[in-house]
């Protein structure tokens, strides 16, 4: 049974109550496992099971599944429509920004019709008394009430049918009460009598709410700039070299293996590697790195990056949804569509908020009537309660901040894949690092030494000819540099955590760590260049080298043939980055599979303390060590972030409270161990720069701070505004203005995150 997912755009949602209503409607569709509706992105992420596809555990995109699955998506869209909302294409926010004044026409008409109703009130405050005749007030207010305000009646009616309340219902009830009261006062007044009417209140409230929603939409467009900017990176056409020369084709027709010409200044159309030419590539929109990267033949390039001043030919290795750019877009979309755990509180409040407000409005009406006030005054105060209590700001508080935070982080090469990682990262008190490739360059070199003969190096290089391990690559490169002849090995078998074994030119060989030599009990009497091999290995370890031993299995037993010593270098700037993390009060740890001597020697170069080093850790034991770092005796457990870049780091990345995967796409493209690590981690750093770890923790802290600020002001606004309206200190007009202002202020506060820089 497969799990599938799809995204559905939803139009017409206005508040947190709308969100919960849509979620309940979709959840009732048979087969739906989970649904998450986001008010800020106006979309829903729906996951459901599809038994007809066979068996599997990994959710797959329904858009890539069989055509018959369109029926389920149709049922989901029908559920949205039946709930009173408009199902839209999921890409409705990916489109280019519309005219800044798009959608302002209803607001302009409302202002035009409301101005003559409000101006006499302003004139009265200035001593210029005058009021429009009741008929004119009626003619101006009624179109605003029932034409411009039709959307509130429609959505409010659907809410009533569903047995739930929402913002539209509150606005419809409040403004209708004010309009109806004015009509009743006008028609029941004695002929020729001057009576105060409240048409301006209803018309202005509807106009202000429309103005607030229009401002929200403009702010949402800014919040989704990150997604649109990523989509713009995808070229529409590709210049492919075919049998008849260069042919211009749509990007959707591009295939893996095609040879594509990229001219100076053009964007690379897909992931691949250079077949011809050399150039400088701007990858800033993918990695956040402002400086261009040099590329030559056989170097990887990433779709969406910008070619510099050279004409190059690229062999395509990934297209469509398999490219790095497509993965980045999906991760950013997932993060912006997800709900942070703190949102659960908002969902619980919104479920009872609107019914509670309706009760408070009735209590307000009854209270003022009971104290001897007129029906007219009592109704006006009840209307003010209904208008000011609209929970728009409450529904936007969390998703608006998440959209802005994840968007600006992606701009600088920090991909936050889910809202839970974003919310958890600011609580991290311990950061553990994998050593090789994370803190170090990850390109170890075989150290020169007289002890390693040409024969030993030839056998070691031949045995590791097909291995992708960094140490194996170093051995092969050293053998080629000496001009040695490398043979093809047979019966090669990797021994996880230890090394490799196989046959070279009829010799049964093993090459691996000292830990493996201890397990195999390789005799210490075996000589290497006249010295005991263990003595030589110990000397090299004391110098900070990573040591491997080449052993031959003979009829007399195991015989050590050669000791290989490897050295690596710290990444540039890593000492400063670690110092910055320590300055934040964080515990640091380095986890390495190297021997203690090599690990401590590198730690000293990195500025780490001896007690922060964990050496001789098997790949399968990294996750257990992470869980050990999380333990804190009887106190609350430590919140641990683990930073790694390889396939053997995936379990530790998943076990940590926050996993941060390093993926240097400019050097490696996508795939292999880095790709596995990226899938296991909640946050991906698109450059191999340790400084981005502190940046990721910082944007998390700032985003969570914005969420808390927004929620505080949303709750405080209603906590203060409702009592003031109930006590008669706020008119419906002032209440409407305050309600619109609260929603806009939440969006503006969230958008301040766009100014963040690492």
pLDDT at 94: 54
pLDDT at 669 exceeding the cut of 70: no
- β-bridge partners, 641: 431, 658
* Inside any domain, residue 683: yes
Q: Catalogue the long-range contacts made by 676-680 (C-beta closer than 8 Å, 24 or more residues apart).
A: 676/647, 676/650, 677/644, 677/645, 677/646, 677/647, 677/649, 677/650, 677/653, 678/327, 679/650, 680/649, 680/650, 680/651, 680/653, 680/654
* Inside any domain, residue 641: yes
* 575 and 643 housed in the same domain: yes
* Inside any domain, residue 615: yes
Residue 200 and residue 190 in contact, taking contact as beta carbons nearer than 8 Å: no
74, 93, 112 - which closes a domain? 93
> Which CATH number characterizes residue 641's domain?
3.40.50.1000
Please report which helix (H) or strand (E) contains residue 550, including its range: strand 546-554
Give 179: exposed, middle or buried? Use CB within 10 Å, 0-12, 13-18, 19+: buried
pLDDT at 122: 62
* Inside any domain, residue 579: yes
Residue 652's pLDDT band, with cuts at 50, 70 and 90, is confident
pLDDT at 121: 63
* Inside any domain, residue 371: no
* 697 vs 750, higher pLDDT: 697
Residue 459's pLDDT band, with cuts at 50, 70 and 90, is very high
| Separation of alpha carbons 197 and 132, rounded Å | 10
* 542 and 461 housed in the same domain: yes
Q: What are phi and psi of 603, to 5 degrees?
A: -60, -40
pLDDT for 288-316, tens place per residue? Answer: 666 788 888 988 898 988 998 889 999 99
* 628 vs 739, higher pLDDT: 628
| Separation of alpha carbons 62 and 31, rounded Å | 14
Q: How far is CA 524 from the centre of its chain?
A: 54
SS3 428: coil
* 617 and 695 housed in the same domain: yes
pLDDT for 305-356, tens place per residue? Answer: 899 888 999 999 998 878 888 877 777 777 666 666 776 667 667 667 778 8
40, 70, 93 - which closes a domain? 93
Residue with tokens 């090669």: 492
pLDDT for 504-546, tens place per residue? Answer: 989 999 999 888 888 888 887 655 554 578 888 888 877 778 8
pLDDT for 369-402, tens place per residue? Answer: 999 998 888 988 888 888 887 666 777 778 788 8
DSSP E strands in 584-743: the ranges are: 587-591, 613-614, 640-644, 658-662, 683-685
> Which CATH number characterizes residue 492's domain?
3.40.1110.10
Please report which helix (H) or strand (E) contains residue 27, including its range: helix 16-27
Distances from the Cα of 413 to the Cα of 494, 562, 664, 686, 733, angstroms: 35, 43, 10, 5, 46
- β-bridge partners, 415: 684
Which range of residues forms the domain containing residue 695?
Answer: 413-440+570-701
> Which CATH number characterizes residue 47's domain?
3.30.70.100
* 546 and 620 housed in the same domain: no
| Separation of alpha carbons 144 and 309, rounded Å | 59
* Inside any domain, residue 192: no
pTM over 0.75: no
* 452 and 554 housed in the same domain: yes
* 525 and 600 housed in the same domain: no
* Inside any domain, residue 574: yes
pLDDT for 219-243, tens place per residue? Answer: 666 656 666 667 777 888 999 998 8
- Report the number of distinct structural domains present in the chain: 4
93, 108, 135 - which closes a domain? 93
pLDDT for 466-501, tens place per residue? Answer: 777 778 888 998 888 888 999 989 998 888 778 899
* 555 and 482 housed in the same domain: yes
Please report which helix (H) or strand (E) contains residue 35, including its range: strand 32-38
Torsional sign, CA 412, 414, 415, 419: negative
pLDDT at 315: 95
* 94 vs 752, higher pLDDT: 752
CA atoms within 13 A on the CB side of 106: 21
* 549 and 495 housed in the same domain: yes
To the nearest 10°, the Cα dihedral for 80, 84, 90, 94? -170
| Separation of alpha carbons 283 and 357, rounded Å | 52
* 474 and 562 housed in the same domain: yes
Q: What angle do CA 719, 723, 728 make, to 5 degrees?
A: 150
CB count in 10 Å sphere of residue 255: 11
Distances from the Cα of 441 to the Cα of 158, 295, 515, 731, angstroms: 60, 19, 24, 66
* 499 and 615 housed in the same domain: no
Q: Which two tokens stand for residue 21?
A: 């209503």
> Which CATH number characterizes residue 268's domain?
2.70.150.10
Torsional sign, CA 515, 516, 519, 521: negative
Distances from the Cα of 2 to the Cα of 31, 51, 59, angstroms: 11, 6, 7
Q: So which residues are the catalytic ones?
A: 434
pLDDT at 676 exceeding the cut of 70: no
* 549 and 694 housed in the same domain: no
* Inside any domain, residue 225: no
* 603 and 524 housed in the same domain: no
CB count in 10 Å sphere of residue 180: 14
pLDDT at 658: 92
């Amino acid at each position: 049974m497969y799990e599938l997912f799809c995204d559905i755009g939803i139009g017409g949602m206005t508040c947190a109550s709308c969100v919960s209503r849509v979620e309940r409607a979709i959840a009732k569709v048979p087969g739906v496992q989970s649904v998450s509706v986001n008010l800020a992105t106006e979309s829903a992420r729906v996951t459901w099971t599809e038994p007809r596809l066979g068996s599997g555990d990994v959710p797959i995109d329904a858009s890539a599944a069989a055509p018959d699955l369109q029926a389920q998506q149709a049922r989901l869209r029908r559920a949205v429509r039946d709930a009173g909302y408009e199902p839209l294409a999921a890409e409705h926010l990916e489109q280019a920004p519309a005219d800044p004044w798009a959608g302002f026409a209803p607001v302009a008409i409302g202002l035009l019709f409301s101005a003559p109703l409000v101006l006499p009130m302003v004139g009265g405050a200035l001593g210029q008394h005058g009021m429009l005749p009741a008929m004119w007030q009626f003619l101006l207010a009624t179109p605003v009430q029932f034409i411009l305000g039709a959307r509130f009646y429609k959505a409010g009616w659907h809410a009533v049918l569903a047995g739930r309340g929402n913002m539209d219902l509150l606005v419809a009830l409040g403004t209708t009460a004010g309009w109806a009261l004015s009509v009743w006062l006008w028609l029941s007044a004695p002929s020729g009598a001057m009576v105060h009417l409240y048409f301006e209140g209803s018309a202005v409230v509807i106009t202000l709410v429309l103005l607030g929603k229009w401002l929200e939409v403009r702010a949402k467009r800014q919040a989704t700039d990150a997604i649109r900017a990523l989509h713009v990176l995808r070229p529409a056409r590709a210049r492919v070299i075919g049998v008849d020369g260069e042919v211009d084709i749509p990007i959707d027709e591009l295939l893996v293996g095609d040879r594509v010409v990229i001219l100076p200044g053009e964007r690379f159309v897909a992931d691949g590697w250079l077949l011809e030419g050399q150039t400088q590539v701007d990858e800033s929109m993918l990695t956040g790195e402002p400086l261009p990267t040099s590329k030559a033949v056989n170097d990887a390039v990433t779709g969406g990056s910008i070619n510099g001043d050279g004409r190059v030919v690229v062999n395509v290795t990934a297209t469509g949804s398999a490219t790095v750019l497509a993965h980045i877009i999906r991760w950013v979309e997932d993060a912006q569509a997800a709900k942070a755990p703190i949102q659960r509180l908002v969902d619980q409040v919104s479920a009872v908020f609107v019914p509670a407000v309706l009760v408070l409005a009735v209590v307000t009406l009854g209270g003022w009537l009971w104290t001897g006030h007129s029906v007219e005054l009592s109704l006006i105060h009840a209307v003010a309660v209904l208008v000011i209590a609209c929970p728009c700001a409450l529904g936007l508080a969390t998703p608006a901040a998440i959209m802005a935070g994840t968007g600006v982080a992606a701009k600088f090469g920090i991909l936050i894949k889910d809202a839970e990682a974003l919310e958890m990262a600011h609580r991290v008190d311990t950061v553990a690092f994998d050593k090789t490739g994370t803190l170090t360059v990850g390109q170890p070199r075989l150290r020169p030494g007289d002890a390693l003969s040409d024969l030993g190096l030839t056998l070691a290089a031949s045995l590791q000819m097909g291995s992708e391990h960094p140490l194996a690559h170093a051995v092969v490169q050293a053998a080629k540099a000496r001009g040695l002849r490398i043979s093809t090995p047979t019966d090669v078998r990797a021994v996880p955590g230890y090394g490799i074994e196989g046959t070279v030119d009829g010799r049964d060989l093993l090459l691996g760590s000292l830990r493996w030599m201890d397990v195999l009990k390789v005799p210490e009497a075996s000589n290497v260049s006249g010295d005991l091999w263990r003595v030589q290995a110990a000397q090299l370890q004391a110098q900070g080298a990573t040591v491997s031993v080449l052993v031959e299995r003979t009829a007399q037993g195991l015989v050590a043939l050669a000791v290989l010593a490897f050295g690596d270098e710290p990444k540039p700037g890593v000492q400063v980055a670690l110092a910055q993390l320590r300055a934040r009060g964080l515990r640091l740890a380095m986890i390495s599979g190297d021997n203690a001597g090599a690990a401590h020697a590198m730690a000293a170069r990195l500025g780490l303390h001896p007690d922060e080093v964990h050496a001789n850790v098997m790949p399968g034991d990294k996750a257990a060590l992470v869980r050990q770092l999380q333990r804190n005796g009887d106190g609350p457990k430590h919140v641990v972030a683990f930073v790694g870049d390889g396939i053997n780091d995936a379990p530790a990345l998943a076990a940590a409270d926050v996993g941060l995967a390093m993926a240097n796409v400019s050097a490696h493209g996508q795939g292999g161990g880095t790709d596995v690590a990226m899938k296991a981690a909640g946050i991906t750093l698109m450059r191999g720069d340790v400084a981005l770890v502190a940046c990721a923790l910082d944007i998390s802290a700032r985003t969570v701070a914005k969420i808390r600020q927004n929620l505080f002001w949303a709750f405080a606004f209603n906590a203060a505004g409702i009592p003031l309206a109930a006590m008669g200190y706020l008119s419906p007009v002032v209440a409407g203005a305050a309600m619109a202002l609260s929603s806009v202020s939440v969006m503006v506060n969230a958008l301040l995150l766009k100014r963040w820089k690492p």
